[in-house]
Amino acid sequence: MRTPSRGLIAALALTPLLAGCFASGQSDSSSGAGSKEGAAGRLRVALAVPPAQALSPYSNDATVLSKLSVAEGLTALDEDGAAAPALARSWKRNDATTWTFELRKASFQDGTEVTAQSVVDALDHANEAETKPRVLSDVSLTAKAEDADTVTITTKSADPVLPLRLASPALAILSAKAYAKDGTVSPVGTGTGPFEITRLSGKTSAALTRFDGYWGGKAKAPGIDVSWIADGTARANALRGGDVDIAEWIPTAQAKLLDKDTRHEVPSVRTDSLVLNTGSGIFTDATLRAAAREAVDGSALVDSVFGGYADPAEGLFGAAVSWAADQRVAVTGQAEAATTAQVEARTAGKTLRLATYTNRAELPEAASVLQQQLEKAGFRVKQDVREYTQMEADLLAGKYDALVFSRVTLLDTGDAVAYLASDYTSDGVYNIAALKDSAVDKAIRAAAEESDTAERQQKIMRAEAEILRTDAVVPLVHEKAVQGIAPDVEGVLLDPRERSLIDLDTHLK
């Protein structure tokens, strides 16, 4: 286990909500994949999901900015999932709704200084975005510059995990020139991290150069060359062939084909589920959702699809969320499942539109298994399988009945409430299930308002039970991620939350 070189020290008196850790992806071997060394020691990285919105932090692209150490927020998450200093060197809670953050001396990659006003402007842009970042689904905040180095943030209601929230990649602080009048946001040359994006070529590649003005010191690698390779087999082949040094999300079918010293298994907070559209189509009928839940068997996917790199789902949160299992609440009040004959009659020949995406190679395979299970229960199923960025708008518009979906449950804040709020509340910005249930809203709101860590965890699990009661989502498996790292690379961060990959210490031997 390696401490990131930024020397982040937890400064929030809040027990961590996730007992996870990073591990250093190192090897003593100097042969094998990655032997075709990048130009002058530059790291070559293959990422899985091409940019949907030109790396805007307000989209799913946000995590790329943190994985590649391009941009930072006021805070970061340390190895234990607690809030730690980033652009803010310290903070304090003044009262239930007001916090004060003291900034460190730092510069943007365009040469301008990070000031309290630039922080306020960046947070205002996030608040005013046409599509709000998911991390702001359940909170309304106002930022004010008190002086050049002090920012006060006030929330409409109590938000005990605000420092965790501000660590979200979606709330990265960028320089003024990042924000265009038309609402678009560009991180090219506008971040504060140790690596600066100097070129972004559509959805295929990007070039990053070391930013020597970084407040935390000089990165060991001179730069990063990024390729987006949506096909998982192709990513694995690029690593095996020495064309890249790091390849994320190696498909489980390919993992065992890699040399042992290039294959790194990571405990993950990622859960794969079948999400059902409760707002339109056949699954507005609760008895048909219950029939789908009864038909689906996620355990059948563990070996056949995931090659053992997964566990059967126990709920929305798996073993990587260490506190979840002991506090899980029994699910009651679910609708009675329609019989096969009733399914056939109630769907009246309508086709179940089952969607998934190709960026994770296991998902199309899982969809085929689920199709068979659902058809056995009386549904007529048609699959739609595409690259994620081609279908996200349709998913949010409710154009599918069901989605085989892979979700990092602690991605947005490191706290589970933000995920629950964005995905399952009536006004959630990522509510693909189109769920509108007052009991669910109430349970999530109760968890959001709780400041005591143990009580908050218990209320999160009560909210999980309320969500599962609706059958809007059927958990399938808890994944174990596999990252591919060439033996001549040191210092890769293996992060269960999938936010971090490369930092100051990552380099070729």
**383 in the same domain as 295:** yes
Q: In terms of C-beta density within 10 A (0-12 exposed, 13-18 middle, 19 or more buried), how is residue 148 classed?
A: exposed
Q: Is residue 3 part of a domain?
A: no
Strand, helix or coil for residue 293:
helix
Query: What is the DSSP secondary-structure string of 442-508?
Result: HHHHHHHH--SHHHHHHHHHHHHHHHHHTTSEEEEEEEEEEEEE-TTEE-EEE-TTS--S--TT-EE
pLDDT tens readout for residues 367-424: 999 999 999 999 999 999 999 989 999 999 999 999 999 998 987 778 899 899 999 9
Beta-bridge partner residues of 99:
93, 153
Report CA torsion sign: 81, 83, 84, 86: positive
Q: Is residue 27 part of a domain?
A: yes
**138 in the same domain as 76:** yes
Q: What is the pLDDT of residue 410?
A: 85
Q: Name the residue range of residue 332's domain.
A: 267-480
Q: Is residue 261 part of a domain?
A: no
Report CA torsion sign: 166, 172, 173, 178: negative
SS3 of 323-376: the string is CCHHHCCCCCCCCCCCCHHHHHHHHCCCEEEEEEECCCCHHHHHHHHHHHHHHH
Identify which has the larger pLDDT, 436 or 131.
436
Structure tokens given for 130? 């046409």
Q: What is the pLDDT of residue 220?
A: 98
Look at residues 49, 7, 40 and name the one whose alpha carbon lies nearest to residue 358.
49
**403 in the same domain as 367:** yes
**224 in the same domain as 326:** no
Tell me the chain's radius of gyration from C-alpha atoms: 22
Q: What is the pLDDT of residue 124?
A: 97
Q: Is residue 341 part of a domain?
A: yes
Look at residues 344, 404, 349, 407 and name the one whose alpha carbon lies nearest to residue 371.
404
How many structural domains are present in the chain? 2
**490 in the same domain as 476:** no
Cα 459 off chain centre by: 22
The domain that holds 381 is classified in CATH as 3.10.105.10
**347 in the same domain as 217:** no
Q: In terms of C-beta density within 10 A (0-12 exposed, 13-18 middle, 19 or more buried), how is residue 54 classed?
A: middle
Q: Cβ(99)–Cβ(180) under 8 Å?
A: no
**Cβ neighbours of residue 210 closer than 8 Å, sequence gap 6 or more:** 194, 195, 196, 218, 219, 221, 222, 223
The mean pLDDT of the chain is 90
Strands 473-485 and 310-312: antiparallel
Beta-bridge partner residues of 210:
195
Instruction: Name the DSSP class of 185.
Output: B
pLDDT tens readout for residues 246-298: 999 999 889 989 999 999 998 889 999 999 999 999 999 999 999 999 999 99
Query: What is the DSSP secondary-structure string of 105-136?
Result: P-B-TTSPBP-HHHHHHHHHHHHH-SS--GGG
pLDDT tens readout for residues 436-461: 999 999 999 999 889 888 899 999 99
Q: Is residue 171 part of a domain?
A: yes
**100 in the same domain as 221:** yes
Q: How far apart are CA 255 and CA 226, in angstroms?
A: 21
Q: What mean pLDDT do residues 131-142 have?
A: 87
Q: Is residue 472 part of a domain?
A: yes
Sheet strands (E) in 211-262? 223-228, 246-247
**315 in the same domain as 215:** no
**280 in the same domain as 233:** no
Per DSSP, helices labelled H in 183-244 are 232-240
Identify which has the larger pLDDT, 443 or 326.
443
Q: What is the pLDDT of residue 12?
A: 27
Q: What is the pLDDT of residue 38?
A: 60
**197 in the same domain as 302:** no
Q: Is residue 147 part of a domain?
A: yes
Structure tokens given for 89? 């060197």
pLDDT tens readout for residues 275-284: 999 999 999 9
Q: What is the pTM of this model?
A: 0.75
**66 in the same domain as 143:** yes
Q: What is the pLDDT of residue 18?
A: 31
The answer on pLDDT for 99 being more than 60 is yes
Q: What is the pLDDT of residue 496?
A: 87
The answer on pLDDT for 21 being more than 50 is no
Q: Is residue 288 part of a domain?
A: yes
The domain that holds 161 is classified in CATH as 3.40.190.10
pLDDT-derived band of residue 37, with 50, 70 and 90 as boundaries?
low
Identity at 194, one-letter amino acid code: P
Question: Which range is least confidently modeled, 209-213, 359-363, 365-369, 394-398?
Answer: 359-363
**146 in the same domain as 75:** yes
Q: How far apart are CA 387 and CA 356, in angstroms?
A: 8
